[in-house]
Structure 1
Amino acid sequence: MSWHLGRLAGFDTETTGVDVENDRIVTSCIVEVGDNTQPITANWLINPGVDIPEAATAVHGITTEKAKSDGQDAAEGIAELVAGLTQVVLSGTPLVIMNAPFDLTVLDREARRYGLETLTDTVGGDLRVVDPRVLDKRVDPYRRGKRTLTDLCAHYRVKLDGAHSADADAIAACRVAWRIASQYGEIGNAFLEELHDQQEDWAAAQAASFQAHLRRKGEADAVIDGSWPLIPVQRGGESS
């Protein structure tokens, strides 16, 4: 059976900002959908231990006060997230993450911050990620416009309720991945292990192409990291 016709697990985070090395997770969701069974959703609200900037609150709606009063201890919440994702990965369920290098890198740095074993340390080579952003750029590389999750939902006619809430975004990412796999045999008929490895190559090529585009526009110093599905930690420069 094609991978997209079985169970899928979506993962998403909302954070204090967009710096994967230093920003913190505020909310997160793991949702399992598909295979003609009821969805199973686990949500986290975490006290990040730092103030949440107003710009971030404007995106996801969580204030510093809300996180402090209702949020879970950060180390405890991050440990639960890693454990939940480990269970998903080791069960063989595809892990669907829109722009995986952001969410997985933030989680990786959070785990290191609290002295926890990281997801990749735990699951090793069993990690299988499906990234709708990478897939979309592969199957439709010349389409104009942005490729945010909201844009992909509109393009693939996927319902998105409550954009920028972790649970809504996680479910929508699964739906977009399903649509792409259903429409493009190259994606839907691939073995999951093969597809994971291909996305690593595609993401690197996509980043190189974008970097070349920026440099042609005069941005000579542009450096686009094509690491996928997460950015490796720089030894000696781990986040604080």
Structure 2
Amino acid sequence: MQQQWFTGPLASFDTETTGVDVETDRIVSAALVVQLAPGAVPQATTWLADPGVPIPDGARAVHGITDERVRAEGRPARTVVAEIARALGEQARAGTPVVVMNAPYDLTLLDRELRRHRDVTLADCLGPAELLILDPRVLDKHVDRYRKGRRTLTDLCAHYGVELTGAHDAAADATAAMGLVRILAARYPGALGALGPADLHLRQRVWHAAQARGLQNWFDRSGTPERVDLSWPLRPLRCACGRRLSPEHRCEAAA
């Protein structure tokens, strides 16, 4: 009998940062967790970076990492982001699906950090390999669209009975997100479990866009000026006018 993908090897990636703006905020810590099968001991690689800027009080209150700690124990952000990209590239080349909760946040922020510190993109670092991303936030919204309530990692773990110890620790969050994906795929075999990771990766682009349009419609009806990006799993670089930039950093409006 062929092994189901969600009972095989999975990786999971998470970051803790200086804030929530993917264009300007910085990575403070990160983790890549690999687990060969459900119940197997997860193997975690972790990073602590000196972001080069002060960590705001709000971010420090969330993850508990201080300026003093990153200065004493953290390594240069330039080194850390390169190592993270290299580790993700290894998973991509191995064909191991990578779980990323709210992927457009973590992956976009990593891409911007690579541009900032190394003058390369995440795609440049991956080369011809492609990350197969599984985003429990998108998957859960697809299979249980009308369930009320928040869908943060903590909320999803409580709903599906996944243990989350040490929330807002990158390794703990990555491990819990991986557990969520395994449970989601097993609980919804027709909608998720029967599809391969490559197929799910493609479908999540469509599902996320539909989910984002629904949220945008709600913002519009309520008079909220916030704009929702439809892109998944990575947000494109944008001009100050809001239009996408080409790889040469030219605004689409000027094309």
Q: 2 CA distance for matches of 1:129 and 1:51?
A: 31
Other structure's SS at 1:43 match:
strand
Amino acid of the structure 2 residue aligned with 1:20: V
Q: 1:82 touches 1:118 (CA, 8 Å); kept in 2?
A: no
Partner of 1:32: 34
Q: 1:90 touches 1:123 (CA, 8 Å); kept in 2?
A: no
Match of 1:82 among 80, 85, 88: 85
Is residue 142 of structure 1 aligned with residue 146 of structure 2? Answer: yes
Percentage of matched positions with identical amino acids: 49
Task: Tell me by how many angstroms 1:2 deviates.
Answer: 2.1
Q: 2 CA distance for matches of 1:105 and 1:72?
A: 21
After TM superposition, the structure 1 stretch with the greater mean CA deviation from structure 2, 164-173 or 110-119, is 110-119
Structure 1, unpaired ranges of 5+: none
Q: 2 CA distance for matches of 1:50 and 1:68?
A: 10
Q: 2:49 touches 2:76 (CA, 8 Å); kept in 1?
A: yes
Match of 1:58 among 61, 66, 70: 61
Q: 2:91 touches 2:131 (CA, 8 Å); kept in 1?
A: no
Normalising to structure 1: TM-score of the pair? 0.94
Task: Tell me by how many angstroms 1:116 deviates.
Answer: 4.6
Partner of 1:199: 204
Q: 1:95 touches 1:129 (CA, 8 Å); kept in 2?
A: yes
Other structure's SS at 2:118 match:
coil
Structure 2, unpaired ranges of 5+: 239-244, 251-255
Task: Tell me by how many angstroms 1:38 deviates.
Answer: 3.2
Normalising to structure 2: TM-score of the pair? 0.89
Partner of 1:93: 96
Match of 2:222 among 198, 217, 223: 217
Query: How many residue pairs were aligned?
Result: 236
Q: 1 CA distance for matches of 2:65 and 2:235?
A: 26
Partner of 2:134: 130
- Change over 3 Å in CA distance of 1:5–1:92 after alignment to 2: same
Task: Tell me by how many angstroms 1:33 deviates.
Answer: 1.1
Task: Tell me by how many angstroms 1:125 deviates.
Answer: 5.7
